[in-house]
Amino acid sequence: MTRQQQLQKLLSRKAGATIAQIQKAFGWQPHSARAAISMLRKAGHTVERSGSGKGTLYRIVKSV
């Protein structure tokens, strides 16, 4: 499974994922995590962004 597929799986969870969770899962810097989310958007996925007590949550709401 590629990292892009792993990220898709992480963001497809009902709870989604924060940048911190993505960083921890992949060992990425914050800018790399945001860039990977941007690549998913460019690939046609609808990524929802919402605020919470833990920080900004990202979640795929519609896949290609």
pLDDT confidence tier of residue 54, bands split at 50, 70 and 90: confident
Domain count, the chain: 1
Query: Model confidence over 4-27: pLDDT tens digits?
Result: 999 999 999 999 999 999 999 999
Nearest in space to 15 (alpha carbons), one of 5, 36, 61: 61
**Domain hosting residue 31, numbered range:** 3-62
Percentage of the chain surpassing pLDDT 90? 86
**pTM for this model (two decimals):** 0.88
Query: What's the pLDDT at 53?
Result: 81
CATH of the domain at 32: 1.10.10.10
Residue 37 buriedness (CB in 10 A; 0-12 / 13-18 / 19+): buried
